[in-house]
Structure 1
């Protein structure tokens, strides 16, 4: 059986580079190829969206092409760390006719998104669990050819919803599961450990998802927190020089964000912000 891990990583965000490295370590351990999209294959126009939206989110459709060569694909957002102790999700969830995702609907009310997409693409029935609408997070999902998840998906429908529906790509995948009667099962939280579950013991998970604020707490930027955690988790396999480079790149990324806000010179910004966050400045 041919297995692939797929992600989208465009640009030089150090978090993306670390994520891909963690995926490669995991892929080698479980016998899966890692495929990275560093350019977009689908043209979508995001114009005056009602909610935060990116044209890059449509790239999940590319999984339909990958499934022409691979039997199963694990999709991971590039703000996920696959920890060195992660279990083999392919063997943990083996049914080829089933899409496996984490049901965030148990923890957040997503009925608004259901209403939004039904209004554009037509009504479908959404099941409930514990009296909450079943709504999966698409930062991680495991899909096989046999599921048919993307058989009827198309960029035209994504275009129709991208300016109208919150989390348009994620909501669209949930919609496809309902409309096309795709079998789906919710995975345990450790395979998509999100901040909405709190901070306790999150570092023990298999896949840690740094969406939103990304566990940053007192760290000023999620990319900084991500790199701190990544370097700590992989300290046994990273050299001191590699760790230093990752942390320098993360600090520079933080400074670039401040530069876009202030247009002040980066050396000045680094000196000033270094006074407030000396433990993160490299």
Structure 2
């Protein structure tokens, strides 16, 4: 349990059509929230409308919903934001205890592994250059927004604005993530990278990934094709939570994950679903 007497919440987004991956993720968040004594808050509708027209990169209007953290911090002392393509594993440590400085915003520095200078250059050209952007392993610090721990004392979401996001969304890759990184550096907010154990991404490889506390299935999600991501996700979830969640619930999620994969493959390859299913059962390995 979170025994520091601070009021904490876990926040995520589940907007649009119901996805078995999201259902599984939410179940893992529910279990974790109970374990650490936090409330679970799920946004299922958009509060921050944005117009995305002919974007240069993939861009979702749902990404602005992270601005809702400002409202949540009026009620809660600390907010843990997690993407809905993350599994919080059953024995995960209490992140609120591990990272307990209230002035610091905590995220995973993916920039130490991936080159993010080009997108930093693009946002700097629009919003102004920042001198002395810090580097790790010779690359600029650039945080992944899939897992973010923030407390009321950090002013990030007092600074962030929907107007800025509207300016950026059609031009900048990972527009809201890049914007948050820019604000952290521009306004010199206190920040620290969390361990990859709390945002385990497949850029780190697949060896022992299931041993992490928070497993992030962004992109291909530990498969060789994004088509298979949901199947990998729900299969891993069902393995990890076997005996902790009712078998019929797990079986339904697993079957729905497989059906979603078949539907996506059908749309891509235009073959009849029975043929897609037969081929998948024979040749697809997850």
TM bucket by the smaller chain? over 0.9
Instruction: Name the residue aligned to 1:201.
Output: 208
Please give the secondary structure, in 2, of the residue aligned with 1:85.
Answer: coil
Please give the secondary structure, in 2, of the residue aligned with 1:208.
Answer: strand
Cα deviation, 1:66-114, whole Å, max 9, x if unaligned, reads 1111110000000000000100000101010000011111101100110
- Find the partner of 1:39 among 38, 45, 49: 45
- Find the partner of 1:156 among 160, 163, 178: 163
Shift of 1:199: 1.0
Shift of 1:138: 0.5
Q: Does 1:147 align with 2:158?
A: no
Q: Does 1:183 align with 2:190?
A: yes
Shift of 1:271: 3.6
Shift of 1:128: 1.4
Does the 8 A contact of 1:219 with 1:225 survive in 2? no
Does the 8 A contact of 2:222 with 2:229 survive in 1? yes
- Find the partner of 2:218 among 211, 218, 231: 211
Shift of 1:217: 4.2
Instruction: Name the residue aligned to 2:3.
Output: none
Segments of 5+ residues of structure 1 without an aligned counterpart are none
Q: Does 1:71 align with 2:77?
A: yes
Shift of 1:239: 2.8
Please give the secondary structure, in 1, of the residue aligned with 2:106.
Answer: strand
Q: Show structure 1 runs of 4+ deviating over 4 A.
A: 217-220, 262-265
- Find the partner of 2:231 among 189, 205, 224: 224
Q: Does 1:60 align with 2:66?
A: yes
Segments of 5+ residues of structure 2 without an aligned counterpart are 1-5
Cα deviation, 1:34-76, whole Å, max 9, x if unaligned, reads 1001111111111111111111111111111111111100000
Please give the secondary structure, in 2, of the residue aligned with 1:249.
Answer: helix
Please give the secondary structure, in 1, of the residue aligned with 2:158.
Answer: coil
Measure, in 2, the Cα distance between the counterparts of 1:148 and 1:136.
Answer: 17
> Across the two proteins, how many residue pairs are aligned to each other?
279
Q: Does 1:115 align with 2:121?
A: yes
Measure, in 1, the Cα distance between the counterparts of 2:282 and 2:100.
Answer: 51
Q: Does 1:168 align with 2:206?
A: no
Shift of 1:272: 4.1
Please give the secondary structure, in 2, of the residue aligned with 1:74.
Answer: strand
Shift of 1:270: 2.7
Shift of 1:267: 4.3
Moved more, 255-264 or 14-23: 255-264
- Find the partner of 2:244 among 227, 231, 237: 237
- TM-score between both structures, scaled by the size of structure 1: 0.94
